[in-house]
Amino acid sequence: MNMSDIWIMRIGHRPERDKRVTTHVALSSRALGARGIYVDTKDPVLEENIRSVVGRFGGDYSIETGVRWQDAVRKFDGIIVHLTMYGERVDEALPKIPRDKDMMIIVGAEKVPMDVYQRADYNISVGNQPHSEIAALAIFLDRFTEGRALYSDRGGKLTVVPNERGKTVVENPQ
Ligand code: SAM
């Protein structure tokens, strides 16, 4: 089954405070099958870190920072999902989401503007308890893709081979 493209829109990013969390939002979404991330605040260091991982481990994942969510959403042709603890239950929302369209998933940092709730096609919760954008995104992506991206080959310079104990890393000829 072909997967539609999934993009992440990270809003409320504060480069000093959210460095690690936004990095992990990007890395987790890449590992779980997203095509790229837009981040609202310009952050060249974040861009460099993510591109460095993509350079070593491969795949087709892009990052652009300094992109307003309103602009990203306006230009996007597909379904807009907003992950929020106030949204409808993930298990009830998933069957309603069309599979033949690209998807943009919005995740916040601090308080998310009400406009996002209005603009989203689906406001979806991963449980109604407050937790983390990394956890919410990972669970949502895993359920939406049914885990298909987890062990997909990214054609990178480095490939990690599953190992019951120890580390097996293969350097691929480029
Ligand atoms: N307090 C903020 C608000 O009310 O908008 C949210 C802060 S939370 C640390 C950061 C982000 O994690 C949220 O914007 C949302 O995307 C995600 N998140 C946290 N808990 C969630 C949940 N239970 N379900 C879905 N997303 C969640």
Domain ranges of the chain: 6-171
Atom of ligand 1 nearest to the CA of 127: 23
- What is the per-residue pLDDT for 13? 92
Atom of ligand 1 nearest to the CA of 129: 23
Percent of the chain past pLDDT 90, that is, above it, reads 95
User: Could you tell me the two tokens for 11?
Assistant: 């809003």
If one residue of 25, 29, 83, 105 were mutated to test the ligand 1 pocket, choosing by the most ligand atoms within 8 A of its CB, it would be 83
**Burial class of residue 112 (count of CB atoms within 10 Å of its CB; 0-12, 13-18, 19+):** buried
Q: Is the CB of 162 under 6 A from ligand 1?
A: no
What is the total residue count of the chain?
174
- What is the per-residue pLDDT for 73? 98
pLDDT bin (cut points 50, 70, 90) of residue 2 is low
Side chain identity at residue 153, one-letter code:
D
Q: What is the CATH number of domain 6-171?
A: 3.40.1280.10
Q: Is the CB of 114 under 6 A from ligand 1?
A: no
Q: What is the mean pLDDT of residues 123-151?
A: 97
Ligand 1 atom 26, closest CA:
84
Spatial separation of the C-alpha atoms in residues 63 and 91, rounded to whole Å: 29
pTM, 2 dp: 0.96
Q: How far is the CA of 104 from the centre of ligand 1 (A)?
A: 16
What are the backbone dihedrals phi and psi of residue 90, each rounded to the nearest 5 degrees, phi first? -60, -40
**Alpha helices of the chain — where are they, by DSSP H?**
15-31, 44-57, 69-75, 90-93, 114-119, 133-145
pLDDT tens digits, residue range 66-113?
A: 999 999 999 999 999 999 999 999 999 999 999 999 999 999 998 999
| DSSP state at residue 60 | -
Ligand 1 atom 12, closest CA:
133
Q: What is the mean pLDDT of residues 144-170?
A: 93
pLDDT bin (cut points 50, 70, 90) of residue 1 is very low
Residue 108 to residues 12, 32, 96: CA-CA distances in angstroms?
6, 19, 23
Other Cβ atoms within 10 Å of 82 Cβ, number: 24
